[in-house]
Amino acid sequence: MSNEITPPSTSEIGVTLNRQEITGSLCRTLTADPLIGTAVILFPAELEESSNKMDIRIYAGNLNKATTQEELTALFTQAGTVNSVDLVMDKATGLSKGFAFISMPDQAEADKAISMFNAYSLADSALKVNIAKPRVEHA
């Protein structure tokens, strides 16, 4: 059973959707039949500042198979704020594949992490750290 609420179609209740510019915000007004009433739904045109920023994704490779997500979080936190660490695991064995992606909110902190930890020795492995390349979908 789905929890999604699907609105009735326009033809079912005579609903019209209008867009109006109100003091710099986009307002969508949902006007219904007078017997049903009127509902106004506001959607801000501008996203909050924090949601406008994209995290900087850093690739960390040549990891020792025993390296944990917690160890990487502790290491990269030395360079700045770490939003997430995604240690890539082999589905069949449950072991690390030897690389991870670290998300940081600030370009300067990401650059600092790259300069601090590229060629850094962690668990007898020299790390390879750089900006992650965009994911390429293979057919």
Write the CA distances from 63 to 4, 48, 105, integer angstroms: 42, 36, 23
- Quick check: is 67 in a domain? yes
Closest to 113 in 3D by CA, of 83, 68, 139, 135: 83
Residue the block writes with tokens 């033809």 = 11
Domain assignment of residue 139, yes or no: no
8-43 pLDDT tens trace: 444 444 434 444 433 443 444 444 445 555 554 444
What is the count of structural domains for the chain?
2
Q: Is 63 helix (H, G, I), strand (E, B) or coil?
A: coil
pLDDT in tens, 80-98: 999 999 999 999 998 899 9
User: Do residues 72 and 117 share a domain?
Assistant: yes
pLDDT at 5: 54
5 in a domain, yes or no?
no
- Co-location of 60 and 36 in the same domain: no
Report the distance separating Cα 95 and Cα 92, nearest Å: 8
Tokens 């660490």 — which residue? Answer: 85
Confidence label for 4 from pLDDT (cuts 50, 70 and 90): low
Q: In which domain, by residue range, is 26 found?
A: 14-42
Q: Are strands 84-89 and 38-42 parallel, antiparallel or unpaired?
A: unpaired
Could you tell me which residue, 76 or 46, shows the higher pLDDT?
Answer: 76
